[in-house]
């Protein structure tokens, strides 16, 4: 049983994983089992090049970010389990946990973060009840979002990135994933608002 399983290792998914991983020394997070399913074929990053994203050098290829971000995650927070080569096919809701069905396995998690981009049709089953037309991307592009209240779709189910209804910019997607990471840490910390900061000389 995962405490949190992130589906999608693009911009918002890895951003969320980094924040969750960074809380490893906090008492409320140290025993938590965190995972991310990294199936990269459908990522917007495959063909993108970035000149306007904060902190990223101009000309950076999205395809480089895809691999480098997961390397960053594994080197800095190796306790975050990365699951490769599996595409999620379905999310099933149970009473107090979710079952995530991939093309190879099944996983159970108390909390699920859906970070799969806004492709239409959606690439997995089980979320149809929450789908609506994207509110901030031109209708002609035919994108979707999941109904949510500040990223929360329903108890234990979060959505990040473009699929949360944000405009498609890397910095916005990254911020969205980070926001959900801190929401989950706050949940684990009995509702006390939580951030994780590192500083020199500490």
Q: How far apart are the first and last CA of the chain?
A: 34
Among 1, 27, 31, 41, binds ligand FAD (CB under 6 A): 41
Among 35, 126, 156, 161, binds ligand FAD (CB under 6 A): 161
48 binds ligand FAD (CB under 6 A): yes
- Which of 33, 57, 27 shows the shortest CA–CA distance to 107? 33
Among 53, 112, 144, 157, binds ligand FAD (CB under 6 A): 53
- How far apart CA 160 and CA 11 sit, in angstroms, is 9
Among the residue ranges 20-28, 50-58, 71-79, 184-192, the one whose residues contact ligand FAD (CB under 6 A): 50-58
180 binds ligand FAD (CB under 6 A): no
134 binds ligand FAD (CB under 6 A): no
Pairing of strands 152-154, 144-146: unpaired
185 binds ligand FAD (CB under 6 A): no
The dihedrals phi and psi of 162, each to the nearest 5 degrees, come to: -60, -35
7 binds ligand FAD (CB under 6 A): yes
Name residue 107's beta-bridge partners: 100
Contact code string over 97-116 relative to ligand FAD, x by CB under 6 A: ------------------xx
- Nearest distance in Å: CB 82, ligand FAD: 12
Q: Which is nearer to ligand FAD, 53 or 185 (CB)?
A: 53
Positive/negative CA dihedral, 123, 173, 81, 26: negative
Residue 35: both structure tokens together: 């995972």
- On whether the CB atoms of residues 165 and 135 are closer than 8 A, the answer is yes
Pairing of strands 131-133, 144-146: antiparallel
137 binds ligand FAD (CB under 6 A): no
- How far apart CA 103 and CA 106 sit, in angstroms, is 9
Subset of 79-98 contacting ligand FAD (CB under 6 A): 87-88
- On whether the CB atoms of residues 112 and 152 are closer than 8 A, the answer is no
148 binds ligand FAD (CB under 6 A): no
Please give the residue ranges that form the binding site for ligand FAD (CB under 6 A). 7-13, 37, 39-45, 47-48, 50, 52-53, 62, 87-88, 115-117, 123-124, 161-163, 168-171, 173
């Amino acid at each position: 049983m995962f405490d949190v399983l992130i589906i999608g290792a693009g911009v918002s998914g890895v951003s969320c994983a980094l924040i969750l991983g960074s809380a490893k020394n906090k008492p409320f997070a140290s025993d938590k089992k965190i995972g991310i399913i990294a199936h990269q074929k459908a990522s917007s990053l495959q063909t993108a090049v970035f000149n306007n994203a904060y902190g990223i050098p101009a000309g950076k290829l999205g395809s480089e970010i895809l691999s480098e971000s997961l390397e960053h995650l594994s080197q800095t927070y190796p306790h975050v389990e990365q699951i490769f080569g599996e595409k999620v096919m379905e999310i099933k809701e149970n009473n107090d946990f979710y079952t995530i069905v991939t093309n190879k396995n099944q996983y159970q998690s108390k909390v699920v973060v859906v970070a799969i981009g806004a492709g239409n049709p959606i690439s997995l089953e089980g979320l149809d009840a929450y789908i609506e037309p994207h509110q901030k991307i031109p209708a002609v592009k035919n994108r979707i979002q999941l109904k949510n209240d500040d990223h929360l779709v329903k108890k234990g189910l979060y959505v990040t990135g473009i699929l949360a209804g944000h405009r498609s910019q890397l910095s916005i997607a990254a911020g969205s994933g980070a926001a959900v990471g801190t929401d989950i840490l706050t949940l684990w910390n009995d509702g006390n608002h939580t951030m994780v900061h590192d500083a020199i000389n500490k």
